[in-house]
A and B are shown apart, each in its own frame.
Chain A
Amino acid sequence: GAVVSQHPSWVICKSGTSVKIECRSLDFQATTMFWYRQFPKQSLMLMATSNEGSKATYEQGVEKDKFLINHASLTLSTLTVTSAHPEDSSFYICSARGPGLTLETQYFGPGTRLLVL
């Protein structure tokens, strides 16, 4: 299957700092990327959908000024958690679709575990 990478795989930061998570599609062009958040023993919760070169569409209840998403190229999307607080601690997973793949198929990155102290 197609490969999606995330960096870093885990990060610990102090409250009030900002954290950037990168998501890359390694062997295909991702026209659409999705960012999810997952709490322990729960399903994935969609945060936002982003298309290359345009503003992300955020799900209801997700603060766009807090979770900044940039999809600047067909292989890279970034999620920046601004002024992180302990309640932002979670497992963040990106996912991607694109031409060259069956469009209805979606591949996930390995996730980034964020711990805010």
Chain B
Amino acid sequence: GQQLNQSPQSMFIQEGEDVSMNCTSSSIFNTWLWYKQDPGEGPVLLIALYKAGELTSNGRLTAQFGITRKDSFLNISASIPSDVGIYFCAGLFFSGNTPLVFGKGTRLSVIA
């Protein structure tokens, strides 16, 4: 099925560093969602974006909905060990029951 291009695939960073990851699509979306998944758990919603250009923060996390509606980025500032996990972007062009389109994930490792 359709997928988003999410990059990078993986990152190894030092504790305290900032992190940036992004998703791009050939199709427009009217919603972008960012999730984090820990091993053996379901994805947990981090940030939801509903308007082009919207910039939303959740603690140390900041995400933006691209103006073209075809991209979004997620930044994590001052990373800590518990930020380790897989981050997924998901796009939705909402029309009734249309499912989310997921990126392949960014695996984040934080070195203390």
Which residues from chain A sit less than 8 Å from chain B, CB to CB? Answer: 1, 4, 6, 32, 34, 41-44, 46, 49, 51, 57, 59-60, 91, 93, 95, 102-111, 113
Contacts and interface: CB of A to CB of B under 8 A. Distances in A.
B99 interface: yes
A7 B45 CA distance: 20
Contacts, number: 63
Contacts of B100: 34, 46, 95, 106
Interface string B99-112: 11011110100000
A37 B24 CA distance: 23
B75 to A, nearest CB: 21
Q: Number of contact residues on B: which range applies?
A: 20 to 34
> Interface residues of B: mostly helix, strand, loop or mixed?
loop
Contact of B104 (A43, A95, A109): A43
Greatest chain B CB density within 10 A among A43, A57, A105, A109 is at A43
A105 B48 contact: yes
